[in-house]
Chains A and B, each alone.
Chain A
Amino acid sequence: MTVGAPLISIDRVQKHYRTQSGAPLHVLDGVSFDVRDNEFLSILGPSGCGKSTLLRILDGLTPYDGGSIAIDGQSVSGPGPDRAVVFQNFALLPWSSVLDNVAFPLEGRGVKSAERKERARAALDRVGLSDFEEHYPRTLSGGMQQRVGLARALVVNPRILLMDEPFGALDALTRTFLQDELLKIWSRDRKTVVFVTHAIDEAVYLSDRVVIMSPRPGQVLEIVDVSIDRERAAEVRDTPEFNELVAHMRHVLRGVVHPEEAGLA
């Protein structure tokens, strides 16, 4: 399956907040790029560059102030069944079981209880957590909780998966493990993924293309094609091609980021 035509087009999008003094705070300043169908695209940038805001705008949770965003030709106005989000802090309901958490998105859509459970079980199976149906979030490790979050996003079978620094709250070892898990799960049906991260190696490892953003006001610095073969395994991190890409991106970011504004992997 190859990458298709542009599915999401982001055109000169602006977003600003009003500060207490009245002067506007430009979070996004003329951001433009396309996301193609079946593509895994990362948005890479330091903390505070507005990438999470952009993701929320894509999901329709936050309004934007200028430019346009269209998905499959239609303007984005609110959350919809074609998109699902995976959150950095998991956002699992602590009082519900894993199964109920995964089935949650289906509750608002008039799906009957039995069918909800069926589909939730299928989604849990895809992330390898079938044995943990009846567990409660607090008994699971961070990595497992995030897999539940992923299963929940998959259960609605969205066209677009929006992932907001999903591995940011996890330790380095779990992160690498989950990156591989994600690739495995994704490669099955190759949904369109917009993946936000501040970790350069993560962006390169996972994506087809990487959009590098500058810190506030958020602008697109460069869009890099990750030319590595799509069949990736852990060893690819040792290849010169991989490291060249990482070095290049680091270079681009260093040009605009002061050393104090850490957040780079």
Chain B
Amino acid sequence: MVASLRPIGGGPAVSRAKPTTWPRRVLVLGLRIGLLVLILSIWEWAGRTFGTPFTFPPFSAVAEAFVQLLGGTELWVSAAITLESFLFGFGLALVVGIGTGLLAARSQVFDRLSAVYLRILMTAPLAPLVPLLIGLFGIGLPSRIALVFLFSVAVIALNTRTGIQRVDADLLQMARSFGAGEVLMFRRVRFPGAVPAIMAGVRLGAGRAVVGMVVAELIIVSVGLGRLINVYRGRFKAAEMFAVVIVILIIGVAILLIVKWLERRLTAWKGERT
């Protein structure tokens, strides 16, 4: 059977310790909340003592700004614009990434040719490309989509390729022994077997796409949440700035949670295997 190998570009498999008995759970929960409260309190105190409303607002100010922003329309409109770049960029990366990965698994020639470019996209800092993209596409949506795409396409392609290449040889032999043709083998053995690896790549790709989205937002400051941050910075409204940053963080975490959930659903057949 194929051992579960780590996805390319991913971190280590973390087996988090969890409290089991009820007294323990209460203690842990208490400590967690306590820690949070402590940090927020320090923030509050530091904000009041050291900061000015221009540089370091206390937690209460940020909380207030956050609630207000949620009530208004500007935040939601900007968020929608920001998400556009993610959706199109990541969507494109999925199509091109999975396609490239499948092709690389099929054809050794293509695999060797594409290896360099994928490696560059995986390991190089891509932020330097932003001025180039601006020169090519201007400061609108296309350049942001392009950046999101470039951030995420390589990890999806590499994991797809590896996933297809590493399908259980026993199963392939079994299918061949029952006379399955190439098409059937791909549809019922190779591709389903590769899904866990592909989904791992998709998950990692989503994470990188989010980073790309944020980098694009903050450097190509024309529309969306990036623009909002700049606007508030210009008006010296630090609390609002903080609030928008928190919104971006929430969006990022939410996207990743959704993708992780999707990954779990699609690999439900795997069972408890570490």
Give the interface of A toward B (CB within 8 A). 59, 61, 79-81, 84-85, 87, 89, 91, 93-96, 104-105, 107-109, 136, 138-139, 152, 156
- B174 with A80: CB separation less than 8 A: no
Structural contact, B184 and A87, CB atoms closer than 8 A: no
Residue of A nearest to B178 (CB): A105
Q: Which residues of A contact B177 (CB under 8 A)?
A: 59, 61, 79, 84-85
B180: min CB distance to chain A, Å? 4
Tell me the interface secondary structure of chain B in the complex: helix
Q: Which residues of B contact A136 (CB under 8 A)?
A: 269, 271
Contacts A61-B176, A107-B188 supplied; 18 other A-B pairs, CB < 8 Å: A61-B177, A79-B179, A81-B179, A84-B178, A85-B174, A87-B173, A91-B170, A91-B171, A93-B189, A94-B269, A95-B192, A95-B193, A95-B195, A104-B175, A108-B178, A136-B271, A138-B269, A156-B178
Q: Given known contacts A80-B179, A93-B192, A95-B269, is B173 in contact with A107 (CB within 8 Å)?
A: no
Cα distance A96–B184 in the bound complex, in angstroms: 14
Instruction: Indicate the member of A61, A87, A107 with the most B CB atoms within 10 Å.
Output: A107
Closest to A100 in B: B188
Closest 6 CB pairs of A and B: A91-B174, A138-B271, A105-B178, A95-B269, A108-B180, A95-B192
- Within the complex, what minimum Cβ distance (angstroms) separates A260 from chain B? 28
* Complex interface: chain B residues within 8 A of A156 (CB): 178
Cα-based distance from A104 to B189 in the complex (angstroms): 10
- Which residues of A have CB within 8 Å of B193? 95
Instruction: Tell me, rounded to whole Å, the shortest Cβ–Cβ distance linking B79 to chain A.
Output: 37
Contact A89 B189 (CB under 8 A): no
Contact of B181 among A59, A93, A105, A108 (CB under 8 A): A108
**Taking A93-B192, A95-B192, A108-B184 as contacts, is the C-beta distance between A87 and B170 under 8 angstroms?**
yes
A93 / chain B contacts, CB cutoff of 8 Å: 171, 188-189, 192
Bound CA–CA A96/B195 (angstroms): 13
- The answer to whether A108 touches B179 (Cβ under 8 A) is yes
B270 within 8 A of A: yes
Smallest Cβ-Cβ distance to B269: which chain A residue: A95
A107 with B269: CB separation less than 8 A: no
The A-contacting residues of B in range 1-19, CB under 8 angstroms, are 1
Residues of chain A with a CB closer than 8 A to B184's CB: 107-108
Q: CA separation between A93 and B188, bound complex, in Å?
A: 8
Residues of A within 8 Å of B179, CB to CB, are 79-81, 105, 108-109
